[in-house]
């Protein structure tokens, strides 16, 4: 089945009023008689159209897709032509609302990533409904207790809860996505780490250790999966004013009168890159790249989306004029 994508006023050789059509497979056609040259020009033109089908026909599963970065990524996958996106989240109400909001190509399955059978079942459901799984995006995670006490007072029960969601849950996603993808000889698995997994002191001990471990999963397993045709990468984003992050900052500042807008400004002001701020769409677009065939030879990589924050550390030393 073909559908009209856009009306092109002029196609290279001066032909007026041509109609650009695209099939579900992403093939470009020109209504009426055409030439190879026109097809080439149309293909080039198509690449400049927003939502240029970089994920055309792909099936993706996004854990933690009910809100925040997961939801933003699911939305961007669909904008880029994904045939279907399965949202897997422990929050059934928000997950169902997100799937309804994103449209008929979005499904929802309730899934607690700390329970491996639920992760396996979510992936099996995606394959059963849509034929196969091309992209696995492991975005589910928690921050744990806000306070980072003295190491000698660390609550290991709270630590275990963070590790169960962020590390074990991610590992379960990698394991069962690989099970589904390896027989096909292709696929992209994406994990979400953090700048807290690159340098210490940016988060609590539990959260920081968990995000270092997520990056470690990628480094440890990418080589093995590459030999099966499956790519494994991760994204390490900077702080973004998602609901989870804003809730953290609200706890930090307590009842000091800092409203949502003020808290958002504080988060956005943490970066180093002048003239830009890290937004959900930046991380979602990084995920699109790693999910797409544009990154077909990229595996074992940690794509850092932080505006250069972790590449520079100001030394704690006095300036010459203060000696």
Q: How far apart are CA 265 and CA 68, in angstroms?
A: 17
Does residue 320 lie in a domain region? no
Q: How far apart are CA 203 and CA 184, in angstroms?
A: 39
Taking the mean position of all CA atoms in its chain, how far away is CA 277?
17
- Whether residues 144 and 173 share a domain: the answer is yes
Provide the 8-state DSSP code for 10.
E
Q: How far apart are CA 204 and CA 196, in angstroms?
A: 9
Contact 190, 138 (CB under 8 A): yes
* Of 171, 265, 261, the residue nearest 217 (C-alpha): 171
In the residue annotation, 207 being an active-site residue is answered as yes
Give yes or no for residue 25 having a pLDDT over 60: no
Does residue 51 lie in a domain region? no
Assign 3-class secondary structure to 16-54: EEEEEEEECCCCEEECCCCCHHHHHHHHHHHCCCCCCCC
Q: How far apart are CA 81 and CA 53, in angstroms?
A: 4
Q: How far apart are CA 90 and CA 66, in angstroms?
A: 9
Q: What is the model's pLDDT at position 31?
A: 54
Contact 299, 224 (CB under 8 A): no
Give the chain's mean pLDDT. Answer: 85
- Whether residues 114 and 178 share a domain: the answer is yes
Does residue 247 lie in a domain region? yes
Exposed, middle or buried: residue 19 (CB in 10 Å: 0-12, 13-18, 19+)? middle
Contact 174, 232 (CB under 8 A): yes
pLDDT in tens, 251-308: 777 655 667 788 878 777 777 778 888 889 999 999 999 999 999 999 999 999 988 8
> Is the pTM above the cut of 0.75?
yes
- Structural domain count of the chain: 2
Does residue 163 lie in a domain region? yes
- Whether residues 92 and 156 share a domain: the answer is yes
Give yes or no for residue 12 having a pLDDT over 50: no
Give yes or no for residue 36 having a pLDDT over 60: no
Of 207, 253, 289, 312, which residue is the catalytic one? 207
Q: What is the model's pLDDT at position 214?
A: 99
- Whether residues 162 and 274 share a domain: the answer is yes
Q: What is the model's pLDDT at position 24?
A: 46
User: Domain residues for 130?
Assistant: 59-311
Q: Output the domain CATH number for residue 203.
A: 3.40.50.720
Least confident of 91-95, 130-134, 239-243: 239-243
pLDDT in tens, 46-71: 544 444 689 999 999 999 999 999 99
Contact 86, 60 (CB under 8 A): yes
pLDDT in tens, 211-231: 999 999 999 999 999 999 999
């Amino acid at each position: 089945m073909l559908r009209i994508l856009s009306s092109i006023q002029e196609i290279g050789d001066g032909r007026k009023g041509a109609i650009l059509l695209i099939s579900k497979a992403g093939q470009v056609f020109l209504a009426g008689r055409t030439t190879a040259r026109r097809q080439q020009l149309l293909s080039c033109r198509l690449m400049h159209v927003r939502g240029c089908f970089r994920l055309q026909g792909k099936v993706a599963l996004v854990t933690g897709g009910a809100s925040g970065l997961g939801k933003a990524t699911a939305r961007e996958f669909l904008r880029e032509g994904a045939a279907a996106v399965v949202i897997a989240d422990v929050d059934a109400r928000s997950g169902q609302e997100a799937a309804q909001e994103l449209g008929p190509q979005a499904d929802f399955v309730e899934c607690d990533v700390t329970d491996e059978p639920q992760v396996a079942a979510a992936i099996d459901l995606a394959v059963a409904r849509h034929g196969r799984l091309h992209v696995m995006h492991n975005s589910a995670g928690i921050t744990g207790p806000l306070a980072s006490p003295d190491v000698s007072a660390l609550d290991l029960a709270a630590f275990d809860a963070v590790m169960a969601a962020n590390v074990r849950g991610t590992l379960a996603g990698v394991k069962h996505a690989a099970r589904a993808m390896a027989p096909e000889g292709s696929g992209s698995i994406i994990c979400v780490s953090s700048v807290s997994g690159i340098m210490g002191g940016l988060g609590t001990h539990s959260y920081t250790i968990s995000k270092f471990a997520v990056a470690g999963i990628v480094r440890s397993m990418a080589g093995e999966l590459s030999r099966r045709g499956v790519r494994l990468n991760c994204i390490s984003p900077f702080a973004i004013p998602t609901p989870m992050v804003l809730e953290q900052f609200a706890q930090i500042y307590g009842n000091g009168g800092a409203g949502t807008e003020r808290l958002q400004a504080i988060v956005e002001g943490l970066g180093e890159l002048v003239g830009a701020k890290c937004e959900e769409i930046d991380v979602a677009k990084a995920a699109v790249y790693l999910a797409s065939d544009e990154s077909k030879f990229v595996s074992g990589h940690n794509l850092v989306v932080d505006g250069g924050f972790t590449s520079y550390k100001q030394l704690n030393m006095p300036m010459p004029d203060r000696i």
